[in-house]
Structure 1
Amino acid sequence: MFRVIPFMILLTVLPIHAADRPDNLYSSANLWLQDEDPLPTGGKSPRLAFAMSLVVPGLGELYAGEPKRAAVFLGIEALTWFNYLRWRSKGNDLKAEFRTFADRNWDENRYREWQAYNQARGAPYIETETLPCKRALEGCHRVDTQQYYEMIGKYDQFVFGWRDVSNVGFETGNGNVDSNQRIDYENQRNESNKLLKRASVIVGLTVVNRIASSIHAALRVRSAQLSISPRPDRAEVAFHVLF
C-alpha cells in the first residue's frame, strides 16, 4: 500500500485534460494564476479553488463541481494520515520494547570492565566510539539517548555488555563474540526504525497530494471558464482582420 499511494496521486492528475487540445491545456496552465476576466461561471475563482485544495485536498474539486475527484483526493489524504499514525504508533511501541530489552540484557558495568581490561593491555582493540549517557547523571559529559541505544547493538566494541556472553573471556576478540541477545535486539531496533521512517516519508506524500489537488482544482475551474466564455465566430474574426 505504501508504494501504491504515489501512483494513485499520479493517475488522478494525469487524465484531467486528456480530452483537451494541447493548446487549451497550455492556456489553462498559464492563465489560471493570472487575473481572471469576469466570465459566466457563477463567480468561481481558480485561485480560490487552488487555496481550498491546498488546505483540504478535494475541497477545491468540490468547489469546482467535481465531487468524485474530490472524494479521490480526500481519500488519499485520509489514507496517508491513517498510515502515518499507524506506523508511527507501532514504531514507537517497538522502540519502547527494544529499549526495555536493552536495559534488562545489556550491562554497562560489564562493558566498563572489558574497557579497563582492553586499556590495561595497551588497547589491542581500537575503541572508535565513545558511549554517551542514556540519561542525565552526575559527571556525565554527554547525554544522547538515541545514540546510546544505537551503539550498544551496532558496534562490536560493546558486545561484552550483553549478558548472554558474560562467560566469554575478555581475551576473545570482539569480532569473534556471538551474542544472540544482540542479534535479537538489532532486529527489534531495525523494525522500529523501518516503521518510523515510513511514517516520516508518508508525510511528504501528503504534500504531493495537496499540490496535485490544488493544481487540478484550479485547472478545472479555469477550463470551465474557457469553455463557457463566448468565442467570436471565425468569419467575424476574418471580417475584422480584413476591414
Structure 2
Amino acid sequence: MRTISYISLVLFTTFTFTSSFAQEVSDKPLTNYEKSELTEKVINSDSQLEYNEQFKKVTRVETGSSEKSPYLGALMSAIVPGSGEFYAKSYIKSAIFFAAEVTLWSLYAMNRSNGDTKTNEYEAIANDNWNLKKYAQWLKDNNFDGASNINIPSNDPVAGTSEWDALRYQVNDCERINFSHTLPKFGDQQYYEVIGKYQSFVAGWSYSDVNVVNKNNYLSYRPGQIDSYMGVRQDANNYYDNASLMSNIVIANHLLSAADAAWSVTMFNKEIQMHTSVELRSVYSSKEGRRITVPFGNLTVDF
C-alpha cells in the first residue's frame, strides 16, 4: 500500500484563546528587555514559529464515493458480463466483457442458423433420394438371411406412416441377422446418419444401381453423391459444434467477468480510502507578538 500525505492544508483562520494563553501573553506593553528576548527567540527559531502541540484529533473520513460490495459486483457480472465492472467504475473492462458477450451470442446465433440451414439441406437430400422399398427389395433379391420374411408392398409407402413402419420392422429383422446396424425411425437424427455412413444401406440410394451393387460388393460400392450428402451433414455438425463452443465460452465469460468484477470492486474500495487528521497547534506569531492557535490539516490517501 502506498500512502500519499498532503500536509500544507494550513487553515489561516486563527483563534485567540483568551483564557488558556492569557497567562503567556499580557495586555500591557512589552519592555525593551522582553522585546530583545522575543526577537532573539524568533530569530533562532527554524520556522519562525515556536509551537507546542496542545492536542491532536484524528478523524477518519471517506470520499464522496462510498464503498461498494464485491459480492454485488460479482453477481451483476455473473448475470450480465461487464455490469459489475461498470459498477466498479472500471469502464474499459466493462466494455470489453460486454462486447465479448454480444459477440459470442452473435456467433452462437449465426452458427446455429447455419447449422439449421445445412440440416434442412441434407435432410431434403435424404428424403428425396433414399427409399426404403428399394432397399427392402434389394435385400430380397440378393437373398440375405431373413429377407424372405419381408413383404414388399405394391405401392411405395410414405416415409413415417404406419405402412412405412411396418415394412421397416420386417427389414430390421433381416438387418439384425446380417448387419451391425438397423434402420432407425424416420426423421431421427440417427436415421439420417446411418443411411449415409454405413455401406449396408447403400442400395437404398437413388444414385445406386441395384444391377451393379450386390451381396458381394456392397461394402466397396459407393456413389460419389453419398459422400457429398455426408459432406453437407458434416458441415451442419461443424456449425453446431461451433455454436456449442460459443455457448461454453459465454459461460466462461460470465465466470471470468464475475471474478474480475469482485476484484475490481475491491480495488475500487482501496483506492477511495482516505484519512484526514486535524491538529490544533499553539504557535508563537512574531507578527502578533503572542501565541495563537492554528489548525493544521493532514490528508492521507491509501491505494
| Match runs of 1:1-243 below 5 Å | 41-116=65-140, 117-119=143-145, 126-134=178-186, 145-166=188-209, 167-229=211-273
| CA distances 1:95-146 after superposition (whole Å, capped 9, x unpaired) | 01100001111111121123333226998x93111112215xxxxxxxxx11
| CA distances 1:39-80 after superposition (whole Å, capped 9, x unpaired) | 765131111111111111110111111111111000100010
Q: Distance in 2 between matches of 1:65 and 1:181?
A: 59
SS in 2 for 1:118: coil
Moved more, 49-58 or 106-115: 106-115
TM-score (norm 1): 0.70
SS in 1 for 2:97: helix
Number of aligned residue pairs: give it.
Answer: 188
What is the match of residue 16 of structure 1?
none
Q: How many angstroms does 1:171 deviate by?
A: 3.6
What value does the CA root-mean-square deviation take over the aligned residues?
2.7
Q: How many angstroms does 1:230 deviate by?
A: 5.4
Q: Distance in 2 between matches of 1:148 and 1:121?
A: 21
Q: Distance in 1 between matches of 2:139 and 2:274?
A: 85
The structure carrying a bigger strand percent of its residues is 2
- Whether the 8 Å CA contact 2:135–2:204 is kept in 1: the answer is yes
SS in 2 for 1:152: helix
Letter of the 1:201 counterpart: L
Moved more, 66-75 or 160-169: 160-169
Q: Distance in 2 between matches of 1:213 and 1:203?
A: 15
Letter of the 2:185 counterpart: C
Gaps of 5+ in 1: 1-19, 22-37, 136-144, 232-243
| CA distances 1:194-240 after superposition (whole Å, capped 9, x unpaired) | 10111112101011101111111111111222343358xxxxxxxxx
Q: Percent identity?
A: 31
TM-score (norm 2): 0.57
Letter of the 2:214 counterpart: F
Letter of the 2:186 counterpart: K
Q: How many angstroms does 1:81 deviate by?
A: 0.3
Q: Distance in 2 between matches of 1:212 and 1:120?
A: 60
Q: Distance in 1 between matches of 2:256 and 2:147?
A: 64
Relative contact order higher in (CA < 8 Å, ≥ 6 apart): 2
- Whether the 8 Å CA contact 2:62–2:274 is kept in 1: the answer is no
Higher Cα radius of gyration:
2
The structure carrying a bigger helix percent of its residues is 1
SS in 2 for 1:174: coil
Q: Distance in 1 between matches of 2:116 and 2:235?
A: 10
SS in 2 for 1:148: helix
